[in-house]
Structure 1
Amino acid sequence: MKSILIKNATLVNEGRVFQSDVFISDGRIQKIGSNLTEKSDREIDATGLHLLPGVIDDQVHFREPGLTHKADIHSEARAAVAGGTTSFMEMPNTIPNATTQELLEDKFNRAAETSLANYSFFMGATNDNLDEVLLTNGATVCGIKIFMGSSTGNMLVDDEGTLEQIFEKARLPIAVHCEDEQTIRDNLTIYEEKYGDEIPVECHPEIRSTAACFKSSFMAVKLAEKHNTRLHILHISTEEELALFRNDIPLKEKRITAEVCVHHLWFDKSDYATLGSQIKCNPAVKEARHKEALFQGLLDNRLDIIATDHAPHLWEEKQASYKKSPSGVPLVQHSLQLMLEFYHDGRISLERMVEKMSHAPAECFQVRERGFIREGYWADLVLVDLNEPYTVSKENIYYKCNWSPFEGKTFRSSVSHTIVSGHLAFENGRFDESKKGERLLFDRPL
């Protein structure tokens, strides 16, 4: 592996912004300091650029196996790297669902062959696979995923006895999608009676309602408190749910954590008028009051992580009527640029953004030797130019589905270089796929 010397960068790391050089060799950060003179295979002059730890996205859907007409691990990992995301954790609702140890390991093997980014995959829980779930190795798998709301195949876990057992017996983090299924079904019946098959997409946040989210999240929190479970609630979308989370203790002491996704910070209900089903997702993008409250919850540490829930579908699929159009938005390529827009607007500091996108995911999931710019850690790094505009277009979208709700949007910042486990994987629009990403490992007591 080639050694790299990054010179004259502005580092953003662990609450500090400072000038430094970084020397990388054997995949790791060997030295951080001023005026480094180490001999290297490649030197990058980072004058005017900011060097950040690579983004760790703990919630993506890369659609492989079984849904590869929409996306696959190769295409979406490339898009992630182009946007500064160096590691991802992918969800089990593929076809077949990753609900056995054998099927889960198949995904790891495929990623080892094709993923430009570092990777891990969640083990999926169902109403009837508890024995398989409990075999999951916490040192090599990011966590267990429970859908407490409908999903692909047999992945809705709605049996209270099963939930009790998983929360009681699991020894690694449980990540939960929280929406109460019966509330959603009841709401859908009301809107079907009113509109028939022509339900307007702007009704989505009333069907997948605030009440549905809160009821399910409340249940998950109570189960975790009862069993002292390590619980992570995904994609919080409502102001009401913020009351369930603490900000009076450090992140490392929390047994219950929560995340917010970029689309719930950026979009609100008014955007359905122009974007329609492009922003149809579960849980739904809701009224503006939720978006503003979520941002405050991020800043005051009730929300711990920023993620994407990247979930691509074909453009033709998204153009169908409300009930037939699938939920999900492709987001992983532009999440860092999107958050940098909030920085430019003065709403979040670079230090806090890095904390929520890199440090906190590493801490929450106890990722080994990643998420920080530290000597001895894996070199997962991204260089960004805060003053180089970037306009999203068909020509520079790397998703297999080849569309984005940000098409035509000009971001004020660009990603120039992405280094994955010491490998310069992306440089000014060009990929080097001669080395693949690494499997994430986790420092957890077994």
Structure 2
Amino acid sequence: MFDLLIVNARVVNEGTIRELDVGILDGRIDAIAPSLSRDAKKVIDARGRYLLPGMIDDQVHFREPGLTSKGDMATESAAAVAGGITTYMEMPNVKPPTLDSQALENKYALARGRSHANYAFYHGASNDNLEAIKALDPSATCGIKIFMGASTGNMLVDAPQTLEDIFASAKIPVITHCEDTPMIQESERQARERFGEQVPFSLHGEIRSREACYKSSSMAIDLARKHGTRLHVLHLTTAEEMALFEPGPVEGKLITAEACVHHLWFCDEDYERLGSWIKCNPAIKTAADRQAIREAVNDGRIDIVATDHAPHTLEEKNNPYFSAPSGMPLVQHALSSLLDQVSAGHFELTTIVEKTSHNVARRFELEDRGFVREGYMADLVLVDLEKRFTVIRDELLYKCGWSPFENKALRGSIDTTIVNGVVAWDGKRLAEAPAGERVTYRRR
């Protein structure tokens, strides 16, 4: 007997869409076939809907420990599963920052039993923790995160020899936030000189400029090629940067690239309406840049699509330019925003599944996740591509209580999210007991 049987689903997996039944037993996909007749404790008739592997978000900031007025692992993972995200990889710029193995294990302990989605945590880099990075157990973390641009606290890595040493010694993927800090600081100085503290948010893309992004991204790529480092460059924002990456499948690539959902959705024209709400780093840039990133998703220069979910309170965000922090909450509507763009003709549904599930599992060598395959963990999301809904504040699960998508009508709803075989979100309610587990890896 199956624990859960999903029948009549349009299963989207590895470039195909087929009508199949999927049987789940003991947290794993036990059987996949055009028709499964075994009994089940629970049956979901998915007729007319699509069954995808759950989104694996390789970049979130859930703010715990130390910044929990903005969010925490329980609240933000709840929003994530409501948005079809079944696994997340969380960033190290918390308080204290995740700069050694003990801090890393402390975060796993915080997530255990509280996270609605599966979880992994990055080990951070600083100018003075090289020995901790060299001693790192490759099975303990998804990757080594380097802020090669401005960051929180002690996490800006700008010492040239330290960067060389990290790239030379890394045994697992190095993940980079790429912006050139001196260039940004000079742009900020000029903006202050012109506007004082009342800098228009519309200038954010010029202050955190395309030149600052390109200089840092190209430096990271040069270091990776020099040392043979597996490099993954996060949240790219400019047309120029797309030329730095190779098109085609992710398999065999030394260097991979990521785009974020807000850079695929918003452009600089939206600053007038949303202001600080879409202030993020790297900055949202022009409509032409957005189009170039969309094209790079389709030709394989962009390998992964993620969120960079980074909540702040409304009180913090509703400040003047220099006081308003960068970042926005995104996990609850990230996948729906991508499904909307499928309906609009920007992407194929199979492409979105590849970029949000398959390629993340491949790049980070995740064990038994990211695909609809027999024997794999049952991390699945059932979506309705035709259903339209409007994002309203009362239905948000974020601790911060707001969203840049508020009052926006999206086409593509999350019907059911399954984590490790458990219905974590049924379209209206969360499971009583969080079902998330620590991610494991297939690493040599």
- Whether 1:333 and 2:332 are equivalent positions in the alignment is yes
Q: Secondary structure at the match of 2:47?
A: coil
Match of 2:390 in 1: 391
Report Cα offsets for 1:157-211 as digits up to 9, x if no partner.
0000000000000100000000000110111111111111111111111110000
- In 2, are the aligned partners of 1:9 and 1:51 still within 8 Å (CA)? yes
1:83 — aligned with what?
83
2:420 maps to 1:421: yes
Aligned partner of 1:158 in structure 2 is 158
Q: Give the structure 2 partner of residue 365 of structure 1.
A: 364
Aligned to 2:27: 27
Native 8 Å contact 1:11 1:50 kept in 2: yes
Deviations 1:254-296 (A, max 9, x none): 0100000010011111100000000000000011111011111
Contact 2:2 2:38 in 1 (8 A): no
Q: Is the 8 A contact 1:112 1:436 kept in 2?
A: no
Separation (CA, whole Å) in 1 of partners of 2:60 and 2:395: 20
Q: Which amino acid aligns with 2:257?
A: A
Q: Is the 8 A contact 1:116 1:433 kept in 2?
A: no
- Secondary structure of residue in 2 paired with 1:58: strand
List aligned pairs for 1:95-244, cutoff 5 A. 95-244=95-244
* 1:49 corresponds to: 49
Counterpart of 1:431 in structure 2: which amino acid?
L
**Aligned-residue identity in percent:** 52
CA deviation after TM superposition for structure 1 residue 419, in Å: 0.4
Deviations 1:381-431 (Å, cap 9, x if unpaired)? 000111222211112111100100111111112111100011111102111
The correspondence of residues 184-333 of structure 1 with structure 2, limited to 5 A, is 184-247=184-247, 250-333=249-332
Q: Which amino acid aligns with 1:313?
A: H
Map of 1:66 onto structure 2: 66
Q: State whether residues 98 and 124 of structure 1, in contact with CA within 8 Å, keep that contact through their aligned partners in structure 2.
A: yes
Please name the residue that 1:38 is paired with.
38
CA distance in 2, matches of 1:138, 1:64: 23
The more displaced of 79-88 and 429-438 is 429-438
Q: Equivalents in 2 of 1:276, 1:328: separation in Å? A: 12
Distance 2:63 2:323 in 1: 19
Give me the TM-score of the superposition, normalised by structure 1: 0.98
Mapped contact 1:141–1:442 kept (Cα < 8 A): no
Distance in 1 between the 2:284 and 2:427 partners? Answer: 33
**SS of equivalent to 1:285:** coil
Contact 1:140 1:442 in 2 (8 A): no
In 1, Cα distance between equivalents of 2:109 and 2:299: 39
Measured against aligned partners, the alpha-carbon deviations of 1:40-75 in whole angstroms (never above 9, x if no partner) come to 211111111110000000000000000000000000
CA distance in 2, matches of 1:60, 1:3: 31
Given that 2:114 and 2:434 are in contact with CA atoms closer than 8 Å, whether structure 1 keeps it comes out as: no
Deviation at 1:347, TM superposition (A): 1.4
For 1:155 and 1:161, the matched residues in 2 are separated by: 16
CA offset at residue 435 of structure 1? Answer: 4.2
Per the TM alignment, residue 373 of structure 1 is displaced from its structure 2 partner at its CA by 0.1
Displacement of 1:2: 7.8
The letter of the residue matching 1:190 is: Q
Q: Which runs of 4+ in 1 moved over 3 A?
A: none
Q: Which moved more, 1:218-227 or 1:346-355?
A: 346-355
The one-letter amino acid of 2:337's match is: L
Change (3 A) 1:316 1:435: closer
CA positional deviation for 1:136: 2.1
Distance in 2 (CA, whole Å) between partners of 1:47 and 1:246 is 39
Listed as ranges, the gaps of 5+ residues in structure 2 are none
Partners of 2:2 and 2:23 within 8 A in 1: no
**1:27, 1:378 within 8 Å by CA — same for their partners in 2?**
yes
CA offset digits 1:78-98 (Å, max 9, x no partner): 000001000000000001101
- CA drift at 1:113: 2.4
* CA deviations over 1:188-235 (Å, ceiling 9, x no partner): 111111111111111111110000000000100000000000000000
Superposition RMSD in Å: 1.1
Whether the 8 Å contact between 2:117 and 2:436 is mirrored in structure 1 is: yes
